[in-house]
Amino acid sequence: MGTFNTLAALLTCPRCGKQGEMEIELRHGNTANQLHLKLGDDYPRMLREPVSSADQLGAALLLVEGYCECHLCQKDFFVTVALENNRLTSAQVDLTKLGHVPD
Ligand SMILES: [Zn+2]
């Protein structure tokens, strides 16, 4: 079992269609401290993460994959999470990738 950070965000579940505060698992970057994050928070960096060229430009937009299990229907789905300048700015349900739990 790996570690992950969680992001709490208001999402509409694509499996049951209900809206709720969902916990999104993020395995990107530094997950050692298993932080509970929300939109607007800075994302924890790796301790020895190299500075990317995008960082140098100061306009880094990074899309990372999140995984979510709906607490209303217990089914799962994927979420695209945006990091702008290392800050969590949005979470959108990814309808192009199917979850593991069958309908
Ligand atoms: Zn659901």
Report pLDDT digits (tens) over 35-47.
Answer: 999 999 999 976 5
* Domain assignment of residue 103, yes or no: no
* Domain assignment of residue 54, yes or no: yes
* Domain assignment of residue 100, yes or no: no
pTM: 0.85
Spatial contact of 22 and 68, defined as CB atoms under 8 Å apart: yes
Domain of 13, in residue numbers: 5-94
* Domain assignment of residue 35, yes or no: yes
- Residue 60: its pLDDT value, please? 78
Distant-in-sequence, close-in-space partners of 31: CB < 8 Å, separation ≥ 6: 2, 3, 4, 5, 44
Measured in Å, residue 73 CA sits from the centre of ligand 1 at 4
Query: What's the total number of domains in the chain?
Result: 1
Measured in Å, residue 19 CA sits from the centre of ligand 1 at 8
